[in-house]
């Protein structure tokens, strides 16, 4: 699009800082810094301190940005190919009902929908509205997540590997609660992945 168009559009509807960062992305170029890091029991694929990573995750989460979903999907597909896993299913961390009604979508599900990876949204349900985790310390986060999830199925094939997926890892309270809820479904350890930390 012409520069004049962007100037006019930006004047009428000022873009967020994150949208400006994303505007410079060109298809086919590595834009996000894929750097898997294991923190406790979670593999985080990127650092949230990276301005591009932060911009992409925030625009996916709060602006329903398709470009952001595609970029995150590329990183996730790259990582899953590197794991060598074959018989697995990705399970996105579900949103609290109140947050789902407000936002209208789960950003992690949207990322998965842009991939060819196997995933299921019918295994785990968020049954309680919880406070936003960002406003709480670790102890309060753990209490906040207690009994927040419910397993929606009784069993899976015994050789099926469950891979939990969330967008951002902070203290791990959400992942811990979700992992504990799904643990009875599988004799295999549940793998936990966050797009960023």
Identify the DSSP state of 147.
T
Domains of the chain: 3-196 (3.40.50)
pTM for the model stands at: 0.85
More reliable by pLDDT, 74 or 13: 74
| Of residues 14, 12, 46, the one with CA closest to residue 32 | 46
What pLDDT does 169 receive?
94
Does residue 76 register a pLDDT over 90?
yes
41-71: pLDDT as tens digits: 999 999 999 988 999 999 999 989 898 999 9
CA dihedral 193→133→138→89, nearest 10 degrees, is: -20
Q: How far apart are CA 80 and CA 78, in angstroms?
A: 6
| CB-based contact 132:160 (threshold 8 Å) | no
Does residue 28 register a pLDDT over 60?
no
End-to-end Cα separation, the chain, in angstroms:
34
99 pLDDT band, cuts 50/70/90, is: confident
| Of residues 165, 94, 104, 164, the one with CA closest to residue 130 | 94
- Rounded to 10°, the helix 138-145/173-182 angle is 30
100-109: pLDDT as tens digits: 899 999 999 9
Helices (H), the chain: 3-12, 17-23, 51-63, 66-83, 97-103, 107-113, 138-145, 173-182
| CB-based contact 181:149 (threshold 8 Å) | yes
| Mean pLDDT score, 127-153 | 77
| Mean pLDDT score, 24-34 | 67
Side-chain-side CA neighbours of residue 126 (13 Å): 20
169-186: pLDDT as tens digits: 988 889 999 999 999 998
32 pLDDT band, cuts 50/70/90, is: confident
């Amino acid at each position: 699009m012409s520069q004049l168009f962007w100037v006019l559009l930006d004047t009428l509807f000022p873009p967020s800082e994150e949208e400006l960062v994303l505007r410079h992305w060109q298809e086919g170029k590595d834009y996000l810094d894929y750097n898997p890091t294991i923190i406790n029991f979670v593999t985080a694929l990127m650092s949230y301190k990276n301005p591009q990573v932060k911009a992409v995750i925030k625009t996916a989460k709060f602006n329903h940005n398709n470009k952001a979903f595609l970029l995150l999907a590329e990183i996730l597909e790259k990582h899953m190919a590197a794991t060598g896993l074959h018989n697995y299913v990705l399970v996105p961390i579900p949103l609290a009902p109140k947050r789902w009604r407000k936002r209208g979508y789960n950003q992690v599900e949207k990322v998965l929908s842009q991939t060819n990876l196997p995933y299921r949204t019918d295994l785990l349900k968020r049954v309680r509205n919880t406070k936003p985790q960002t406003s709480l310390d670790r102890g309060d986060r753990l209490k906040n997540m207690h009994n927040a999830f419910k397993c929606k199925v009784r069993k899976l094939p015994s050789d099926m590997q469950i891979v939990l997926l969330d967008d951002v890892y902070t203290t791990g309270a959400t992942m811990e609660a979700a992992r504990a809820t799904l643990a009875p479904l599988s004799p295999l350890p549940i793998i936990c992945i966050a797009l960023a930390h």
